[in-house]
Structure 1
Amino acid sequence: MTLTGKTALVTGGNRGIGLATVRALAQAGATVHFTARSAANLAAAQRELGPVIATGHVANMTDRLAMTTLFQQPFDILINNAGIIGPIGRILDIQVEDWARNIDTNLTAAFHATQLALRHMVQRGGGTIVNLSSGAAHRPQEGWSAYCAGKAGLAMLTRSVHMEYGDHGIRIFGFAPGVVDTDMQGTIRASGINPVSKLPRASLAPADEPARAIAWLCTPAADPLAGSELDVRNPDLRAAAGLPPLA
């Protein structure tokens, strides 16, 4: 698996699945950029990466001007990873402003990044976009109305991009990484509000597994799957991406 000569951007690449994806793409030969919300988060990510070379940018996904400035340079690969889980709570217990903030981060900001990336990709004859999806895009979870709605919208965005620009060389995938040991899962466990919060930490997957699958999706080997919603737990996908079979 090689991505030599490709330039990639991972949003929210300073921790969790995003940071693992930065590492996986760089190890595959790509020139990798990533975003973080603050200089402190950026510095922490660079320490975690160690000898892995990647360029960090302080940019909040919802800051339209910052993202427009960042996308003045073209990227061959966009990983729409940045996202939030909250507000966690039943519909009558949450504020509409918090609900809207989730949609702006998980859906509207991902649309904006996709739009900015497409302008260069279409001109250059192709590119790859991976949207971090979730089982929540297809199955509601108590207390996650905003997250489920945002991920469902993102799944439809994936299909829309494939329909409109697949013939222009754009390869886009929705990818559900499974239940991974990240800070977001810590927030979910603390809420105690639905079955996902009850999962023991020992049962959660390491972040490097979905990251390796994401890197594989950026290679031509994944061409037949373009436009699809994929799940890291699918045995055929795991085998193709070189991941161990699930127990």
Structure 2
Amino acid sequence: MGRLAVVTGANRGLGLATVRELSENGWDVLALTRTSAEPAGGSWPAGVVPVLHDVRSEPTHALTAAVGQRQVDLLVNNAAQGAPHGKLGAIGADGLLNSLDVNVAGPLRLTQFLLPNLLAAPDPVIVNVSSRLGSVSAQANGDFADLSTSYAYKVSKAAQNMLTVSLAQELQGRVRCWAVHPGKLATAMGQSDAAKDPGTAARQLRELVDSGSRTSPRFCSLGAEDLAW
């Protein structure tokens, strides 16, 4: 058996590109998807086991059976939820809470569930796919003031970054925990100026995991300098 990765939001965009990249480089992958057991525009590569799982829910029997007693070398919390951009008076609290459920509570639930499997691995890594827009210091500096980003996305990604820091502090020396900004990806959730191919980001993510970097917590920007929290 190869190293095992668990990837959420795995049937399109960066999630699917990451599944393919890892599979092509010898990993076994559990591909967690919310609505479809099939990936967008094709079929699953060899070594990939699809599992229907909504990260807003507690782990199901299907996920429990798929993981079993295997050690998990890599958890990629990629599933994400935003909300339409709007002014203060138009923001719905339900949309904000849903984003927090997917982007923050979702990774927390999976980390709690998989922790025994992660701790059984020799050098496990948790990757929370974050965003530069979750940097509180950059937002406070006004670096992204010209972008029409929703409250829900900014707030939830900042909260996800704090989750990453908190996990890293508790799991110090046992599990490395990284927040990873993949770049401005040309996906359905990308900004209008996004041009980076998800396959490029997936390759850079695999290379980062294989680099042996010991820094934890870390706020990585794939293909660029690390970001300020």
CA deviation vs aligned residue, 1:184-210 (integer Å, no higher than 9, x gap): 22xxxxxxxxxx44x2xxx51000111
Task: Give how far 1:87 is off.
Answer: 3.9
Distance across 2 between alignment mates of 1:226 and 1:51: 31
Aligned to 1:90: 87
C-alpha RMSD of matched pairs (Å): 2.3
Counterpart pick for 2:9 among 12, 28, 48: 12
Helix, strand or coil for the counterpart of 1:42?
coil
Compute the displacement of 1:22 (Å). Answer: 0.2
Aligned pairs for 1:8-87 (under 5 A) are: 8-38=5-35, 41-45=36-40, 48-49=42-43, 51-66=45-60, 69=64, 72-74=68-70, 75-87=72-84
| Superposed CA offset, 1:11-50 (max 9, x none) | 0110000000001111111101111112xx32244x5246
In the alignment, the residues of structure 1 paired with residue 219 and residue 45 of structure 2 have an alpha-carbon distance, to the nearest angstrom, of 33
The number of residue pairs the alignment matches comes to: 214
Task: Please state how far the C-alpha of 1:223 moved relative to its aligned partner.
Answer: 2.2
Q: What is the one-letter code of the residue matched to 2:42?
A: E
How far has the Cα of 1:137 moved from its partner?
A: 0.7
Tell me how far 1:224 sits from its aligned partner.
3.1
Which segments of 5 or more consecutive residues in structure 2 lack a partner in the other structure? 140-146
Shift of 1:90: 2.3
Structure 2: how far apart are the matches of 1:33 and 1:148?
Answer: 28
- TM-score, normalization by structure 1: 0.78
Q: Which amino acid aligns with 1:174?
A: A
1:87 touches 1:102 (CA, 8 Å); kept in 2? no
The reply to whether residue 208 of structure 1 matches residue 202 of structure 2 is no
Structure 1 window deviating more from structure 2 (137-146 vs 204-213): it is 137-146
**What residue number does 2:213 align with?**
223
- Alpha-carbon distance between aligned partners in 1 of 2:93 and 2:24, rounded to the nearest angstrom: 42
Q: Give, in angstroms, the shift of residue 143 of structure 1.
A: 4.2
Q: Percent identity over the alignment? A: 28
CA change 1:58–1:135 in 2 (3 A) is: same
Letter matched to residue 51 of structure 2: H
**Structure-to-structure mapping, 1:124-139, within 5 angstroms:** 124=121, 126-138=123-135, 139=138
Which of 110, 113, 122 does residue 113 from structure 1 map onto?
110
Task: Answer yes or no: is the 8 Å Cα contact 1:90–1:142 preserved in 2.
Answer: no
| CA apart distance, 1:124 | 4.6
- Output the CA distance in 2 between the equivalents of 1:176 and 1:208: 14
More helix by share: 1
Q: Structure 2-normalised TM-score?
A: 0.83
Query: Shift of the alpha carbon at 1:58?
Result: 1.0
